Structure 1
Amino acid sequence: MAEPTSNVMPALLSGLRIVELASDRAAYAGKLMGDLGADVIVVEAPGGHASRGYGPFVDDKADPDRCLWWWNYNTSKRSVVLDLDSAEGRDSFRRLAQSADIVLEGEDPGTLDALGIDHTQIRADAPALIWVSVTPNGRRCADLHEPATDITLLSAGGTVWNCGYDDHSLPPIRPSGGHAHHTASAFAVMGALTAVVHRDLTGVGQHVDVSMLAATNVTTEVSSIDWLYRRATNNRQTGRHASEHVTMGIQVETGDGGYCSNPLGLTTAGNYKSVLDWLGELGLVDEFPEAFFLQMGIDRGGVSLKVLGQDVEATEIYRAGREALYLIASKLTMAEFFVQAQQRGIACGAVYAPDEALADPHFRFREYPVEVDHPELGRSYTYPGLPFTGDFIPTTIKRAPLVGEHTQEVLGEL
């Protein structure tokens, strides 16, 4: 385990050394642990990993050190260049891996074994080492070498079935942005840190085998469970949760053309009173003849989501609550509806574009957008920060490394 190098309060994962073989599949896992304070050493091939060639590039200059994909997924890491096709490179990798707490890789099964540097070969001399593999189907399956991409994994895992529109004559759609890779990386971090706890208690490391396919399947909300236990099929719905039954839309369009999301509708007596009062304050009661349903919602103490579609009265009360929100939203801006709904105890979220999200006061208060210095370019850039905060969680992150920037430094530490 690496030693802390300053008197500053240690970050959550300071002292952990992680050797990551550069990949698309596990890059986000390494980023999360690096941003949490671990010493993450990303091993690249000569010239840099292929992902450095993904566009777009800063200032539209195609350069491996200006790749925005690389910048995003490799913050807070050090870069070492090793030629694993050479005996010298493999020897350096063995020594580097055996100096680590965790090795993180996303290679196709059999690739590292053929080079003599897979987990069984390296852990033989380092039994406390934790080895995390992220592969499409996992290392323990019949389809080890079946080709896979983000869309094939999300489709086979069931996620794509849940995403799309009410009109089922249209094909389903997939979430964008490497959803399968992010999901698998999140499970890789959980598995790795659980293995660290086990190692600290027993002195023994282990192989953590992450299946990207399984990771996508367990994130289909209740759809997999509903099928396994009830043989019920949940169907996709526009902009809302897949469900066995058709539900009302949860996005409300505001007067300025924006959208807010109200996932729960009105459920408590307090919710119904707040909306009835809100209609009154805006002078909209006469425009909403179903206002008496809101009073019924108050009188019956709210509406349980469990009875919708079964209890006729409750369903109509709930529907009226939704329609009241549609009317109110049409008279306000997105910002006004978003803030006022929350002030009244009604669950609500603004539907932001990414740049709008970074400007949100809540994100700003949490210091989520962070400035990252790029001395090699003489500039700093705004990055999305960590998705969680805490006493031992850093509030800053470091820029992604240049190709082989730390090779001599890291190898000199061995």
Structure 2
Amino acid sequence: MTADQRTGPSRANAFAGLRVLDFSTTIAGPHCTRMLADMGAEVIKIESSDGDTMRNRPPVRDGYSTAFGQLNVGKKSIVLDLKSAEGREAVRRLVTTADVLVENFRPGVMRRLKLDNASLRGLNPKLIYCSISGYGQTGPSAELPAYAPAIHAASGYDLAHLAYQPNRHQPDYCGIYLADVVSGIYAYGAIASALYQRRTTGEGQHIDVSMLESMLSLTLNELQSAQFPVKKQTRPQFGPVETADGYVMIAIASEKSFRSFMQAGGHPELISDPRFAEYHHRREHWAELMDIMETWSRTLTSQQCLAALDRHGVPCSAYRTVAEAMADPQTAHRQAFADVEDGGGTFKVLNQPFRLSGGNPAPTPRVATLGQHTRAVLADAGYSADELAALGVG
């Protein structure tokens, strides 16, 4: 490994000089703004006196949540009471210096506070205002309450996933909030696009991100089969393949990988078997093919099976825990994790999963305490000592 590979390029600064006002809470919005912060933007997280609810989500050490830290490291934190006239006025002052505003309140909340896009546009025509919500800002479902599990169900994702589970009749529980993460990524991409467009037009715009549609984007094949139903679902299912001491995942997604799998498993004759030689026939007889191959895999330990598959270039993996994935030498090589710190100590957060030759995204290694930057940010906005006192800023 070269010195450049060990240390990598300098920290990304693509968004250096940009100011982001972050009103978002929980996961989707904070995930988006964490990405902006990692790319060099100044992100000012605006919280109530109670703070983002994620500040209390486990794991918590000495009162500090690492779940909150992973989503919000590198941001400044200020406390404002948006229900008060003084708090709303502070937002308006900050908006005049901002490039981006991100919020994920239920549609209508910011309008009632007169902090919506239309109300703020006159203060700063260049402002890019991003709203993330369950169903979008308008329409018959717009104001319904929405959290990721409800969106998973509403989007069809849960039942689409169920269709690939043999002999299952009840949707799975899903504790991983895909809708939040995907929506945050789409919001980040939309903001980057709007910033680029602003270079030409000189004007900002409103971005409306729907969690429902973000989840629909994960059902690529299902969107088409919903329009053009097939008589029988014969798509190959890549699932656990049994070994002598557990299971491995084998993904046979190409003709080359199919042939390699047959060679690795000692069944080269199946390459020309009429049941399997052509892809469309293989789809029809997939379960039969996997039953045959498991007569081979069950004679090997998982590690022996993986070694044989690797020798033949077959895509495969052990089933690992997240802790095991974090310990993979590949993630160390990629510098996939950064050490950050809060009041409870040091912990690791995931870096962004892309690398740029001109500078890598990386978090500023400190998580702000609630309201830590209120005085400094407002003083920079021109607030006098008396005005700060009127806002209750000590």
- TM-score of Structure 1 vs Structure 2, range by shorter chain: 0.7 to 0.9
Alignment partner of 1:197 is 2:196: yes
CA displacement at 1:390 relative to structure 2: 1.9
State which of 262, 267, 272 in structure 1 corresponds to 2:259: 272
Distance 1:335 1:195, change over 3 A: farther
Distance 1:363 1:83, change over 3 A: same
- Cα distance per residue 1:185-213 (max 9 Å; x no partner): 11111111111111111111110001111
Question: Which one-letter code corresponds to 1:245 in the other structure?
Answer: T
Distance 1:94 1:354, change over 3 A: same
Tell me the SS of whatever aligns to 1:222. Answer: helix
Alignment partner of 1:389 is 2:378: no
Structure 2 unmatched ranges of 5 or more: 1-9, 382-394
Match of 2:43 in 1: 40
CA distance in 1, matches of 2:18, 2:376: 17
Contact 2:259/2:268 (<8 A) preserved:
no
Match of 2:125 in 1: 127
Contact 2:339/2:349 (<8 A) preserved:
yes
Tell me the SS of whatever aligns to 2:220. Answer: coil
Distance 1:99 1:328, change over 3 A: farther
Distance 1:248 1:134, change over 3 A: closer
Contact 1:119/1:131 (<8 A) preserved:
yes
CA distance in 2, matches of 1:113, 1:86: 15
State which of 143, 146, 149 in structure 1 corresponds to 2:147: 149
Match of 1:326 in 2: 294
- Cα distance per residue 1:278-337 (max 9 Å; x no partner): 44xxxxx5xxxx65224x27xx9x955345346xxxx58x954x4565345434444444
Contact 1:358/1:384 (<8 A) preserved:
no
Contact 1:367/1:395 (<8 A) preserved:
no
State which of 241, 245, 260 in structure 1 corresponds to 2:234: 245
Contact 2:243/2:305 (<8 A) preserved:
yes
State which of 333, 336, 340 in structure 2 corresponds to 1:368: 336
Match of 2:315 in 1: 347
Q: TM-score, normalised by structure 2?
A: 0.84
The size of the alignment, in residue pairs, is: 367
Aligned-pair identity (%): 24
CA distance in 2, matches of 1:177, 1:293: 39
Match of 1:90 in 2: 88
Distance 1:194 1:261, change over 3 A: same
CA distance in 2, matches of 1:336, 1:412: 64
Match of 2:270 in 1: 293
- Cα distance per residue 1:349-368 (max 9 Å; x no partner): 33211101101122121111
CA distance in 1, matches of 2:101, 2:313: 46
Match of 1:412 in 2: 379
Contact 2:242/2:298 (<8 A) preserved:
yes
Question: Which one-letter code corresponds to 2:50 in the other structure?
Answer: G
Q: TM-score, normalised by structure 1?
A: 0.80
Contact 1:254/1:260 (<8 A) preserved:
yes
CA displacement at 1:271 relative to structure 2: 4.9
Dislocated runs of 4+, deviation >6 Å: none
Structure 1 unmatched ranges of 5 or more: 1-7, 234-242, 280-284
Match of 2:3 in 1: none
Question: Which one-letter code corresponds to 1:179 in the other structure?
Answer: L
Match of 2:370 in 1: 403
CA displacement at 1:51 relative to structure 2: 2.7
Contact 2:133/2:146 (<8 A) preserved:
no
CA distance in 1, matches of 2:130, 2:208: 6
1:165-244 to structure 2, matched below 5 A, reads: 165-168=165-168, 170-228=169-227, 230-232=228-230, 244=233
CA distance in 2, matches of 1:369, 1:329: 34
Alignment partner of 1:31 is 2:5: no
CA distance in 1, matches of 2:195, 2:254: 44
Question: Which one-letter code corresponds to 1:15 in the other structure?
Answer: G
CA distance in 2, matches of 1:70, 1:253: 38
CA distance in 2, matches of 1:27, 1:273: 44
CA distance in 1, matches of 2:75, 2:241: 42
Question: Which one-letter code corresponds to 1:411 in the other structure?
Answer: L
CA distance in 1, matches of 2:194, 2:280: 39
